[in-house]
Amino acid sequence: MAIFPSIEGSPDLDDLLESYPEVLKSLFGIVEGSSITSGPGYLDAELFSFMLPLLVLLLAIGSGARAFAGEEDAGRLELVLAYPLRRRDAVLAQGAAVGAEVLLVSLAAGLALLVLDPLVGLDLSVGRIGAAGGSLLALGLLHGWLALAVGAATSSRALAIGLPTALAACGYLVNGLHGIAGWLDPLRVASPFWLIGSSPLEGGSSGWGILVVVLVAIPVLVAGSLLVERRDLRTA
């Protein structure tokens, strides 16, 4: 973020970006008309199209997989589930914990932007910062709760990490490339990244999209909490 002042308003950098191969531009959210040399545009390209979502996803998926499948792997659930505790309640409680972590990180990112904005002079609006935080939250909840649910339903930590990661990768690619690869277009509705919108700070994020993703995340968590009650607990 600190290098921004030195590139602000520079027409040459924008020209350079224009000449990037279509695929890369598409992937990194460098859309027609957006400018990497405007504050929001810079952050969108640098942070919100890739880095922050990646970090939040890593955290959320890791947390979700560790919460149930990880504990089962370590053999610790045998004692705990012999306590008067419904398995579904345990999964829901873990969902709350993962949700709290994701919320904290999203808030921290939003706060950091708010604080640093005047210092670095990016000229961001609070509403858009909120949207950016919201988009991180939605992505984190969906993939984190999916990791938790898959881990609880299947007892496989590998699946708990693999499935949400695959979903995220596909979602990201479909979102990034559907403009170029026409055959991907119909799939874009299933991509959380597309639903949320990839340039939140330049006004490209969709409140409805964020809501849809969160609303899908909830039944995913509930499904995991119900499926966990049907299977045998794995022993260490």
Residues 211 and 106: their CA atoms lie apart, in Å, by: 15
Distances (CA, A) of 36 to 30, 42, 50, 68, 99: 8, 4, 14, 42, 32
Query: Is there binding between residue 71 and other proteins (CB under 8 A)?
Result: yes
Residue among 69 and 129 whose Cβ is closer to other proteins: 69
We find the least distance from the C-beta atom of residue 230 to other proteins, in angstroms, to be: 8
Query: Is there binding between residue 107 and other proteins (CB under 8 A)?
Result: no
Quick one: which segment of 64-72, 103-111, 124-132, 214-222 binds other proteins (CB under 8 A)? 64-72
Q: Which of 3, 7, 80, 108 binds other proteins (CB under 8 A)?
A: 80
Burial 162-197 (b: 16+ CB within 10 A, else e): ebbbebbebbbbbbbbbeeeeebeebbeebbbbbbb
Listed in sequence order, the DSSP H helices in the chain are: 4-7, 11-18, 22-27, 39-43, 52-65, 71-73, 77-80, 87-120, 126-154, 157-177, 192-196, 207-227
Query: Is there binding between residue 104 and other proteins (CB under 8 A)?
Result: no
Candidates 49, 54, 57; CA nearest to 141 is 57
Listed in sequence order, the DSSP H helices in 51-86 are: 52-65, 71-73, 77-80
We find the least distance from the C-beta atom of residue 76 to other proteins, in angstroms, to be: 5
Query: Is there binding between residue 94 and other proteins (CB under 8 A)?
Result: yes
Query: Is there binding between residue 68 and other proteins (CB under 8 A)?
Result: yes
For helices 87-120 and 207-227, the axis angle rounded to 10 degrees is 150
Residue among 123 and 234 whose Cβ is closer to other proteins: 234
Query: Is there binding between residue 24 and other proteins (CB under 8 A)?
Result: no
Quick one: which segment of 6-14, 47-55, 68-76, 102-110 binds other proteins (CB under 8 A)? 68-76
Contact 202, 129 (CB under 8 A): no
We find the least distance from the C-beta atom of residue 229 to other proteins, in angstroms, to be: 10
We find the least distance from the C-beta atom of residue 150 to other proteins, in angstroms, to be: 16
Residue among 97 and 223 whose Cβ is closer to other proteins: 97
Quick one: which segment of 21-29, 40-48, 88-96, 129-137 binds other proteins (CB under 8 A)? 88-96
Query: Is there binding between residue 123 and other proteins (CB under 8 A)?
Result: no
Residues 194 and 198: their CA atoms lie apart, in Å, by: 7
Determine the residue type at 121.
Answer: G
Which residues are near other proteins by CB under 8 A?
63, 66-68, 71, 74-86, 89-90, 93-94, 96-98, 101, 230-233, 235-236
